[in-house]
């Protein structure tokens, strides 16, 4: 990244409407304002690369694993894609809003496997939180200004008060009306993920293109012969600690559709 920045500046090369080019042009446009240092530019580009690649790649891994395990949902997704793209064509940006079931599959994967399990917030002012339990009891918790708060996304996404049958893979729950306040994969408020639209567009485009052309199956391996569906599901969708929620190993086979 440092070499790219130096090369771009020394040769005064234009990279067109690229992210790096836009960032450098804006940073150098007004000498009266305090510009970003080179380390700060590298840091910003790094965040864009990481947030725009790792989260999408891992989410797609889980998505393909879930579709391989749930062939009925994969077939339903394929049929819905074919309604929008009847021939083997590349979807346009204008067609993206029509791929509603692709988005539903993506959201259901994000509900089950949120990339960030603890979203950090800080109380901007003194406030209180009223919480309840399964017995209907209420408790008021004071939250002083400056308090660090971590939102546990799996705890919210698997809460049966907000999601019927929360352990099941049911993309259709994201069609029509659904509880948007109980889905915090991208956080919420003024500090929500600024790359959400890019993440969704990129992920849905890849998901749509692959499912329209390939049938996805779990790879058959002799050492796992005879395992139950629950055992196979646990193996294929196993996670490990990482910068974001990281799959251990998702052994799949992609077969070209006729």
Per-residue pLDDT, 48: 77
- State how far the Cα of 121 lies from the Cα of 83, in Å rounded to an integer: 42
**pLDDT tens, residue by residue, 60-73:** 999 999 999 999 99
φ, ψ of residue 137 in degrees (nearest 5):
-80, 145
| Residue 176 phi, psi (nearest 5) | 75, -145
Q: Which domains does the chain have, with CATH numbers?
A: 21-27+36-112+163-256 (1.10.630.10)
Does residue 243 register a pLDDT over 60?
yes
Indicate whether 13 pLDDT > 70: no
pLDDT at 52: 74
Question: What are the tens digits of pLDDT across the range 169-198?
Answer: 999 999 989 999 999 999 988 888 888 888
Place 150 in a pLDDT band, splitting at 50, 70 and 90: very high
% residues pLDDT > 90 (the chain):
62
* Predicted pLDDT at 253: 97
pTM of the model: 0.84
Radius of gyration of the chain (CA): 22
Tell me whether residue 184 is exposed, middle or buried, using C-beta atoms within 10 angstroms of its C-beta: 0 to 12, 13 to 18, 19 or more: buried
Phi, psi of 139 (to 5 degrees): -140, 130
* Residue scoring higher pLDDT (165 or 136): 165
Predicted pLDDT at 16: 58
Better-scored residue on pLDDT, 47 or 210 = 210
Are residues 191 and 83 in contact, defined by beta-carbon separation less than 8 angstroms?
no
- Structural contact between residues 211 and 101, judged by C-beta atoms closer than 8 angstroms: no
């Amino acid at each position: 990244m440092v070499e790219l920045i130096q090369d771009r500046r020394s040769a005064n090369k234009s990279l067109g409407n690229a992210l790096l080019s836009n960032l450098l042009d804006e940073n150098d446009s007004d000498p009266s304002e305090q510009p970003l240092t080179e380390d700060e530019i590298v840091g910003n580009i790094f965040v864009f690369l990481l947030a725009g690649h790792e989260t999408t790649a891992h989410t797609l891994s889980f998505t393909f694993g879930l579709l391989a395990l749930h062939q009925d949902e994969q077939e339903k997704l394929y049929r819905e894609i074919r309604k929008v793209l009847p021939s083997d064509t590349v979807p346009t940006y204008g067609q993206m809003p029509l791929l509603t079931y692709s988005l539903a599959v993506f959201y259901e994967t994000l509900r089950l496997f949120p990339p960030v399990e603890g979203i950090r917030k800080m109380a901007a002012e003194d406030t209180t939180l009223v919480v309840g339990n399964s017995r209907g009891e209420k408790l008021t918790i004071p939250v002083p200004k400056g308090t660090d708060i971590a939102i546990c996304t799996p705890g919210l996404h698997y809460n049966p008060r907000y999601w019927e049958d929360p352990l099941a893979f049911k993309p259709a729950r994201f069609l029509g009306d659904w509880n948007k306040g109980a889905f915090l994969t991208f956080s919420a408020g003024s500090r929500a993920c600024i790359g959400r639209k890019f993440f969704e567009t990129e992920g849905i485009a890849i998901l749509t293109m692959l499912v329209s052309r390939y049938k996805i199956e779990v790879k058959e391996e002799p050492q796992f012969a005879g395992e139950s569906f629950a055992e196979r599901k646990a193996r294929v969708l196993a996670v490990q600690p990482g910068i974001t929620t990281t799959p251990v190993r998702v052994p799949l086979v992609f077969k070209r559709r006729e």
